[in-house]
Each structure stands twice: as C-alpha cells, then as structure tokens.
C-alpha cells in the first residue's frame, strides 16, 4: 500500500540535497532572522550539529501587530553571503507574491506558512517557479484540504512540493498545537509528497521537541524542521520554544539512532 515518495532535490553550490529519498533531512535555524551576525552564528552552530538546510523567517506572520515582524527587505543584503560562507541553503516564508523577486537569490526553498495555506493566489504564483515549496498545514485544515492546496502549486507547473505537518488546533491547551502524526503516516501511505514534521510549532514546548522528533522519524517523516537560537531567551519571536545548541545537539544524536534503527541516514 505504501506509495513511492517522489524526492525533491535542491542544488546549492554544486551540491545536491535530496528530501524524500530515504535519508532524514534536518532543517534548523531561528524562527526569525534577527541580524547578519545572528544568522551567521546560528547557521554555523546548526551546521556543526548535522543540519543540511537552514531555516529563518524574513517576513513573520505575527498574531499581534506590534510584535517583531521580521527584518523584511533589510535582510536581503546579507543572506546570500552568509549562506555561502556557512554552506547551507535557506528556506524562508514568503507571505506575498510581491516578495518573489527579492526571494529569488535569497532562498533555495519557499515556505508557505500555516496562515497562508489557503492563499491560493500565492500558491498559483509559486507554481510558476521551479523552486521547492514547503507547504505547511493550516492549523485547522483537513488533510484533504492540504493536499488540494498543494495541487494549486503543481497545476501551476511546479511539482516540487514538500508537505509540512506543524500541528493542528484542538481542544487541548497544554501544548501550542496537537502534533498530528496520523497525517504523516497517511501521507506516506497514500501520496508521493515528501513530508517534513515541525515539532517546534507542533508542541510549542522545548522539552517535547526531542520526543516528537523521534516519533516523527519513526512514523516515516522525510525530515524535521526545528527552531534553534544561540540564546533562546533572547529570541525576537517564539522564544518559548527555541532550542539552544546543546538541546538541539542532544536531539540530533537521538534522531540519528532512531534513523539508524530503521536503516536510514541523515541527509548531509
Ligand atoms: C514558522 O515556521 O516560523 C511559522 C510561523 O510557522 P507556522 O506557519 O507553521 O505557524
Ligand atoms: Mn516560529
């Protein structure tokens, strides 16, 4: 019954990073990019611990209008240099089709955030590019609605879609969201999308990110996306769920062990 996953490949400075080809891809980095130094320090830290892809928000979809909204256009000047220096590609959330030209050199993968999964005009626009799209599940979307949202990108001409389970809103307030790992098992069995799990937003609690990362790999996820900050308490967004390098390193060690038990490696 298991469907064959169609891997998505990213070319970066002569290297090919494959997501969905069997190995576990770990994407890590800050919730928001805060400065050149902050991005560089975080990128080096997560790379040393085995990450193959960097994350970092440029435009942030914040619930409160007076919360930090991301560096926006001020980030584009240094992103390319930092990525080259450190040797990691970047995934970042695009919130408006008007950002497309600025994003062209800045990212190797577009993230569509939970709040924009239903933004069909944005999805159609991303369909006109060839760059991979990490499509997060809206926090109240059914799996069927999520797959149909992915079809907008594919019908536009871009088949490079990766689905990202980031937890759904339920009656349970103990965790920020409820990590729906059923969806991961379902998608792996019935679709050919690579699937990434985001235990940072899925739990909102640093002490739960490790256990849920291991569960995600065990259930068949093609990778993880995790928020890490050099000084978590100082993070300008999502400080409550940011992991330190030490916490992230411990999780990476355990992720490798669970992956190895299943005959899988980490994407290098
Ligand atoms: C994020 O990845 O920082 C983010 C805002 O995630 P989501 O869209 O899943 O809430
Ligand atoms: Mn975040």
Domain containing residue 227: CATH number:
3.20.20.70
Would you say residue 226 lies in a domain? yes
**Quick one: tokens of 13?**
């400075």
Would you say residue 3 lies in a domain? no
The pLDDT assigned to 221 comes to 98
Residue for token pair 């600025």: 102
194 lines ligand 1 (CB under 6 A): no
Beta bridge partners of 168: 178
DSSP, collapsed to helix, strand or coil, labels residue 53 as strand
Radius of gyration of the chain (CA): 17
The pLDDT assigned to 76 comes to 97
Q: Please, are residues 84 and 60 in contact by the beta-carbon 8 Å criterion?
A: no
Would you say residue 208 lies in a domain? yes
Which residues make up the environment of ion ligand 2, defined by Cβ < 5 Å? 31, 238
As a whole number of angstroms, the distance between CA 227 and CA 225 comes to 7
**How would residue 93 be classed by pLDDT, with cut points 50, 70 and 90?**
very high
Would you say residue 43 lies in a domain? no
**How would residue 248 be classed by pLDDT, with cut points 50, 70 and 90?**
very high
**Quick one: tokens of 151?**
């079809």
Give per-residue pLDDT as tens, 99-132.
Answer: 999 999 899 999 999 999 999 999 999 999 999 9
129 CB neighbour count, 10 Å cutoff: 17
Q: Which ligand is nearest to the CA of 116?
A: 1
Determine the structural domain holding residue 143 and report its residue range. Answer: 25-31+50-56+72-261
> Is 84's pLDDT higher than 90?
yes
Q: Please, are residues 79 and 54 in contact by the beta-carbon 8 Å criterion?
A: no
Would you say residue 231 lies in a domain? yes
What average pLDDT does the segment 68-77 reach? 96
What average pLDDT does the segment 25-41 reach? 98
Would you say residue 174 lies in a domain? yes
As a whole number of angstroms, the distance between CA 96 and CA 69 comes to 14
As a whole number of angstroms, the distance between CA 76 and CA 74 comes to 6
Q: Ligand 2: distance of its center to the CA of 60 in Å?
A: 8
Q: Please, are residues 110 and 136 in contact by the beta-carbon 8 Å criterion?
A: no
The pLDDT assigned to 1 comes to 54
56 lines ligand 1 (CB under 6 A): no
Would you say residue 67 lies in a domain? no
Count of the separate structural domains present in the chain: 1
216 lines ligand 1 (CB under 6 A): no
Report how far apart the first and last C-alpha atoms of the chain are (Å, whole number).
Answer: 29
Q: Ligand 1: distance of its center to the CA of 49 in Å?
A: 22
> Is 2's pLDDT higher than 90?
no
Mean pLDDT of the chain: 97
Would you say residue 64 lies in a domain? no
Nearest CA to ligand 1 atom 3: 31
What average pLDDT does the segment 32-60 reach? 98
User: Nearest Cα to 126, choosing from 91, 92, 161?
Assistant: 161
Give per-residue pLDDT as tens, 142-179.
Answer: 999 999 999 999 999 999 999 999 999 999 999 999 99
In 3-state terms the chain splits into helix, strand, coil percentages (rounded to 5) of 45, 20, 40
Give per-residue pLDDT as tens, 189-227.
Answer: 999 999 999 999 999 999 999 999 999 999 999 999 999
The pLDDT assigned to 3 comes to 73
As a whole number of angstroms, the distance between CA 245 and CA 83 comes to 19
């Amino acid at each position: 019954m298991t469907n064959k996953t169609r891997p998505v490949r990213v070319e970066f400075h002569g290297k090919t990073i494959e997501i969905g080809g069997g190995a576990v891809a770990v994407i890590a980095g800050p919730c928001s990019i805060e400065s050149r130094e902050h991005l560089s320090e975080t990128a080096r830290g997560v790379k040393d611990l085995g990450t193959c892809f960097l994350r970092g928000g440029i435009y942030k979809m914040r619930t409160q209008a007076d919360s930090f909204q991301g560096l926006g256009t001020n980030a584009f000047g240094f992103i390319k240099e930092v990525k080259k220096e450190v040797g990691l590609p970047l995934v970042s959330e695009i919130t408006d089709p008007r950002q497309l030209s600025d994003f062209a050199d800045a990212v190797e993968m577009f993230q569509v955030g939970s709040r924009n999964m239903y933004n069909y005009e944005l999805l159609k626009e991303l369909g006109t590019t060839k760059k991979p799209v990490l499509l997060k599940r809206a926090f109240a979307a059914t799996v069927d609605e999520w797959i149909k949202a992915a079809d907008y990108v594919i019908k536009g001409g871009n088949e490079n879609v990766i689905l990202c389970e980031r937890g759904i809103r339920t009656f349970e307030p103990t965790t920020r969201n409820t990590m729906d790992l059923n969806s991961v098992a379902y998608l792996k069995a019935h679709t050919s999308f690579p699937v990434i799990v985001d235990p940072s937003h899925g739990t909102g609690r640093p002490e739960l990110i490790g256990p849920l990362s291991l569960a995600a790999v065990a259930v068949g996820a093609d990778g993880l996306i995790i928020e890490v900050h050099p000084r978590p308490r100082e993070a300008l967004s999502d400080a409550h769920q940011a992991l330190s390098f030490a916490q992230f390193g411990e999780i990476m060690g355990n992720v490798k062990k669970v992956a190895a038990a299943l005959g899988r490696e980490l994407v290098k």
